[in-house]
Structure 1
């Protein structure tokens, strides 16, 4: 709003002295603005013009695409009301410098909007409240009234944006920060240095302690500014964490028992006796899982898995040893403790380790029935357990421990209402898809199909779009299992996903018309054996082999150009160093592998997965393809065709698969997974080899991967967040 300094206007405004005017109701200037204050108004006017022009039109109207009401709110606050406030400030009986400073506050408020424009964060309600707070604070200042009561009773986030008006009022600033940490603790944690010396700093620690006790523990043992805030905080929970930091022998383990320590159910001396011994610690962790440890659930999950892996890796490493030696480490464990070894380590456990642990759990569990056992274990990870039992052909044996009607109830709960937990619904759905894909009992599959249909109808009636998509996809996948003769094209069409049974040869060639493959080997005994066996498939009259100190390059001499890069299985950690050097070489040479092959145990898999990208079209895992692995792969390459195994793969199966695949590459043929799978299956001449081959899952039968692909596409089409 521009003020013109005409003498006539000044004279006109001075005509009637008898009428007492209210500046807060004024709509026009009463006294001409002196030129040395006009600059303050000009600054505000320019910011308003910038805000007005942000939508491409200078029309005294701020517009937001798709939000007419929001645009009107901004126009009223930043154009119309700011204009009125400029007039009011000029008409109030304030001295020159008071008016200048007040206009500067108003300028800062409008400037906040112009900053927001540049980052596309326009929040109409925020700016409406910001201008209202300006007005309220201005009035309270004018009346010399305190601000704290107003801040506490009218708090909004916009008061944080009004801090510049409170710079000399320490109680008011304290009140703003105390309210900010109460309402926005996570945001204020990132801005801790702004208020580290205030009472609000300790308040913040009290607010975040129930959600992030580990973070409070870290602060308590650090030398950062947060340490003082934690130790000065009088909150009982924070003080319990400080006690753990100061008196626990292993604080990072002891924090798992925070709920019991804080409630007085346990003493630190007792906790110290557990954390110093791995076996006792794992036993107590399993007991903690049976309680509602809301504060330490994430820490408990992590620690349980770490301790479970200690047992599983020992049994995996002893896979060639007699069972009494191999499974000796779990003999002292209870059935429940064995159960959690299996379900928490599903990505790493070998088939034989699972089977041996399962058999011992079943013996110790008797005479308790399987459904009662799961209920006594709070149904914790039971979907993972059923999926694993199905995958390792142990589901029928487990269900036989349960009465017939109760079996149906258990399997119904396996598929029912997974949509009710948004944190686990997708993982649960992948477990269901993988399990149903492994179940051989047609009656059980029919029963599950009927339950899936019931849940689909329920989510439809509830207008639950996310749940509807989940159950539609699960029902569609299950129907495809019941009708295996239906074409993959039909399933592909129903799921709205790219081809699942075929990979066009052309999509596997790079810009130089070469098919590039990359193989990851590891330096343990299995990796060395796998590498040596792999190399026997490349005859000298068909393939050229070049080797340096880190990797081997294998190039076809006949047919279509095919190149295979494989790092040498050097002793750890040189194997990973060789992989990294090979990756650098490929990147510098702009060589983009379309095919990636992992030749190692599942605990090596993260090393391979971290290097995946959207160029990878076929990914062959010689190890488990569980939910987290599939999700990682499809995040990197959403259309990837994935071959995985229910256990760590064997070179006796993986190499024939690669041989058949590479023959097609050299011949320039499209890959038909159904044909390739039948071809490789025919080479498995013994029952033992056939069993190993049956553990492999081809792309068109990888139900978990198919579900995830289709789910992402359906969510995108419906505009729903993953």
Structure 2
């Protein structure tokens, strides 16, 4: 094999040195320039791999590299020699094909650099050029050839002077544009906007209406020639979209597109409820159930994503925002009065689509219990059937995060609960993101029923077997990690998660790892200026012993420094008036101070309600190695935090965060690091379990070694890095 490679290399060297026909071909001066330009294009192409040699080594495949090298050298030389010796071509004809060949190579080179052309296509592109040359020479159309070539090949050919005057150029060009629109579907409308009178405009617009109706709506609302073509299109779906686009209320109508098209709804039906928040939301939910039913029948509803976005917006405003805003009102009849008109199904969608903004208490005390109160027979499987199992995995995730999953599963027959959880666990490898897999990991950690846990574990292990049998690496990776994590939850299995999964330690955080170059441990705490924030801040300051700590005040923050043991410095913004955004300003100024002084926190603590948490995450230092989230529902935000701090150890509450838990926990952690101790999470948790035995909310806090969702994300990314290294795709 090595000998063959050397032989090929020598042949390539011979041809590349030769580069053009020798002097005995008597190239006239009138064409010499075009041969030299072609020769320059060949050398420029060979240099694309960054090496000034005669080999084209741009891919990991040596065989392909050799083929491409010979094509660029021998193949192009033979073709140019054939052009030069063709007695049927006059001087201008030879110049046209030589110049066209140079343009072809330059176009290929540009396409490769822009990742729009694959390196491996060069031999086929050159063959296509050779096939079309005789047709052009004889004055015949190249249309049939262009029809059979891929878009990239046809596009390169038509962008050379060689075929610019071909009798079939216009039809060929239109054909290439159509192939472009089919290959790059998101660019079809911009192209039609520039070329609205193409012969296929009407038929293509009709296709786009089905696959991307929202984009078509946008273009139909414009005032240009394409918009006019769209409005005059005979297709019934296009006409409905065009009608919407001409109305001020068009965006309100758009989520109902599929039902409008199928005749289940009329424009008048939607317009009649548009100004009533309750009725409009109800119609949105009913439409979502209709669409879910279509999906169940393996049909694809149009505008489904637009419908979901509209439900999210309408659920948020006014309904979720109202009950969130009344979180300080103890009378639930007052706080949740706005939920009175809604059915169980409508409340289900409010929870699912409002996941990102709903407060813990709004879900636990408001939406969730009212679902069952509104049902004659409060069976959870009946609820899922009534919504056609739409977003059921997200529902299970939310229920597990808020510790209502056990209650939910107990509201259905055991056999149905088993089938549901199997469906929850299956097909995690068939989605582009890891969201479903993380949801399964997090949910497992929240389930207390041993039978349900065993069911999930068995289903995970069944998926591993299926992955091995089908040689599905992604499936095997996902389920193998889940299997390790779930087995590690049982201490009798003696599984060291860090060791098995190759991720940083999760059972402890070494004290040394928290220290900066000068041996200091930097802590940043975020406080907010509402009534609770001010109270918590006062308790925070009073928790420090004067024997071991010193407090220094500045205008916008305090600095708490240890006076004994390991130097620990805590920076905490003051909870200044949030109504004037003074707390936000204090945080911003403190962040600037830390940045300018090159001070990097390794412990970050959030002190505040869940609605303040996004602000803390936005300001989270990437240097953080331990993150404490003392807020309600903070467990939901693991993925966001790990994108900023990929190896952070996270302590969070799945449900109602409590100052009575946060205070003792933070004090124990800070004292431990001051004393030079590692943060041994199992030991710390055992100690806190005794201290907080009477506080039932402590059970909802999750330590890093039990934070399965975070561990899954870390482990999967680590495994992909390892696989890439083994495959030679990245360097160690």
**Would the TM-score normalized by the shorter structure come out above 0.5?**
yes
Q: Tell me, yes or no, if the aligned pair for 2:360 and 2:633 is still in contact at 8 Å.
A: no
CA distance in 2, matches of 1:161, 1:697: 59
Q: Of 285, 301, 308, which residue of structure 2 is paired with 1:301?
A: 308
Gap change, CA 1:218 and 1:510, over 3 Å in 2 = farther
CA distance in 1, matches of 2:268, 2:384: 32
Q: Of 77, 92, 96, which residue of structure 2 is paired with 1:97?
A: 92
For residues 350-409 of structure 1, what are the alpha-carbon distances to aligned partners after superposition, in whole Å with 9 as ceiling and x for unaligned? Answer: 443333322221122232632232123222232333344344443343333323333333
Gap change, CA 1:577 and 1:303, over 3 Å in 2 = farther
CA distance in 1, matches of 2:129, 2:532: 71
Q: Of 374, 383, 388, which residue of structure 1 is paired with 2:393?
A: 383
CA distance in 2, matches of 1:583, 1:446: 47
Q: TM-score, normalised by structure 1?
A: 0.86
Task: Kindly state the Cα deviation for residue 81 of structure 1 after the two structures are TM-superposed.
Answer: 2.4
Alignment of 1:200-215 (within 5 A): 206-215=206-215
Task: Kindly state the Cα deviation for residue 665 of structure 1 after the two structures are TM-superposed.
Answer: 2.7
Task: Kindly state the Cα deviation for residue 506 of structure 1 after the two structures are TM-superposed.
Answer: 1.4
Is the aligned partner of 1:683 residue 2:677?
Answer: no
Gap change, CA 1:73 and 1:678, over 3 Å in 2 = same
Q: Which moved more, 1:636-645 or 1:274-283?
A: 274-283
Is the aligned partner of 1:145 residue 2:140?
Answer: yes
Q: How many aligned residue pairs are there?
A: 689
Structure 2 unmatched ranges of 5 or more: 1-18, 295-299
Q: Of 326, 330, 350, which residue of structure 2 is paired with 1:318?
A: 326
For residues 507-544 of structure 1, what are the alpha-carbon distances to aligned partners after superposition, in whole Å with 9 as ceiling and x for unaligned? Answer: 11222322222223334444343333333334566444
SS, match of residue 629 in structure 2: strand
Gap change, CA 1:234 and 1:638, over 3 Å in 2 = farther
Gap change, CA 1:184 and 1:389, over 3 Å in 2 = closer
- In the other structure, the counterpart of 2:267 is 268
Gap change, CA 1:645 and 1:344, over 3 Å in 2 = farther
CA distance in 1, matches of 2:376, 2:610: 32
CA distance in 2, matches of 1:224, 1:653: 63
CA distance in 2, matches of 1:582, 1:677: 31
SS, match of residue 282 in structure 2: helix
Gap change, CA 1:302 and 1:547, over 3 Å in 2 = farther
- Considering only aligned residues, what root-mean-square deviation do their CA atoms show, in Å? 3.3
Q: Tell me, yes or no, if the aligned pair for 1:497 and 1:713 is still in contact at 8 Å.
A: yes
Is the aligned partner of 1:108 residue 2:103?
Answer: yes
CA distance in 2, matches of 1:622, 1:191: 52
CA distance in 1, matches of 2:340, 2:152: 58
Alignment of 1:263-412 (within 5 A): 263-290=262-289, 291=291, 292=294, 294-310=301-317, 311-319=319-327, 320-356=329-365, 357-367=367-377, 369-412=379-422
Is the aligned partner of 1:449 residue 2:477?
Answer: no
Task: Kindly state the Cα deviation for residue 463 of structure 1 after the two structures are TM-superposed.
Answer: 2.0
Q: TM-score, normalised by structure 2?
A: 0.85
Alignment of 1:494-533 (within 5 A): 494-533=500-539
- In the other structure, the counterpart of 1:711 is 716
For residues 301-352 of structure 1, what are the alpha-carbon distances to aligned partners after superposition, in whole Å with 9 as ceiling and x for unaligned? Answer: 2222233334333323333321211222212111111122223333444443
CA distance in 1, matches of 2:201, 2:684: 64
Q: Of 609, 632, 635, which residue of structure 1 is paired with 2:640?
A: 632
Task: Kindly state the Cα deviation for residue 499 of structure 1 after the two structures are TM-superposed.
Answer: 0.7
CA distance in 1, matches of 2:557, 2:463: 52
- In the other structure, the counterpart of 1:40 is 34
Task: Kindly state the Cα deviation for residue 287 of structure 1 after the two structures are TM-superposed.
Answer: 1.5
Task: Kindly state the Cα deviation for residue 271 of structure 1 after the two structures are TM-superposed.
Answer: 1.8
CA distance in 2, matches of 1:598, 1:50: 57
SS, match of residue 62 in structure 1: coil
Is the aligned partner of 1:159 residue 2:166?
Answer: no
- In the other structure, the counterpart of 2:4 is none
For residues 187-225 of structure 1, what are the alpha-carbon distances to aligned partners after superposition, in whole Å with 9 as ceiling and x for unaligned? Answer: 566777875775677776555444443333333445789
Q: Of 588, 592, 606, which residue of structure 1 is paired with 2:600?
A: 592
Q: Which moved more, 1:586-595 or 1:217-226?
A: 217-226
CA distance in 2, matches of 1:647, 1:160: 58
Q: Tell me, yes or no, if the aligned pair for 1:537 and 1:659 is still in contact at 8 Å.
A: yes
Gap change, CA 1:667 and 1:590, over 3 Å in 2 = same
SS, match of residue 492 in structure 1: helix
CA distance in 1, matches of 2:230, 2:665: 58
Gap change, CA 1:494 and 1:2, over 3 Å in 2 = closer
Q: Which moved more, 1:592-601 or 1:61-70?
A: 61-70
Q: Tell me, yes or no, if the aligned pair for 2:526 and 2:606 is still in contact at 8 Å.
A: yes
Gap change, CA 1:301 and 1:529, over 3 Å in 2 = farther
CA distance in 1, matches of 2:151, 2:635: 42
- In the other structure, the counterpart of 1:14 is none
SS, match of residue 623 in structure 2: coil
Q: Tell me, yes or no, if the aligned pair for 1:427 and 1:627 is still in contact at 8 Å.
A: no
CA distance in 1, matches of 2:676, 2:630: 25
Q: Tell me, yes or no, if the aligned pair for 1:544 and 1:555 is still in contact at 8 Å.
A: yes
Q: Of 64, 72, 76, which residue of structure 2 is paired with 1:70?
A: 64
Q: Tell me, yes or no, if the aligned pair for 1:622 and 1:648 is still in contact at 8 Å.
A: no
Structure 1 unmatched ranges of 5 or more: 10-28
CA distance in 2, matches of 1:559, 1:204: 73
CA distance in 2, matches of 1:118, 1:428: 36
SS, match of residue 554 in structure 1: strand
SS, match of residue 523 in structure 2: strand
Q: Tell me, yes or no, if the aligned pair for 2:372 and 2:378 is still in contact at 8 Å.
A: no
Gap change, CA 1:372 and 1:264, over 3 Å in 2 = same
CA distance in 2, matches of 1:626, 1:297: 29
For residues 2-45 of structure 1, what are the alpha-carbon distances to aligned partners after superposition, in whole Å with 9 as ceiling and x for unaligned? Answer: 3444xxx4xxxxxxxxxxxxxxxxxxx4xx21123211111111
Alignment of 1:565-714 (within 5 A): 565-569=571-575, 570-572=577-579, 573-612=581-620, 614-623=622-631, 629-684=637-692, 687=694, 690-714=695-719
Gap change, CA 1:135 and 1:611, over 3 Å in 2 = farther
Task: Kindly state the Cα deviation for residue 86 of structure 1 after the two structures are TM-superposed.
Answer: 1.0
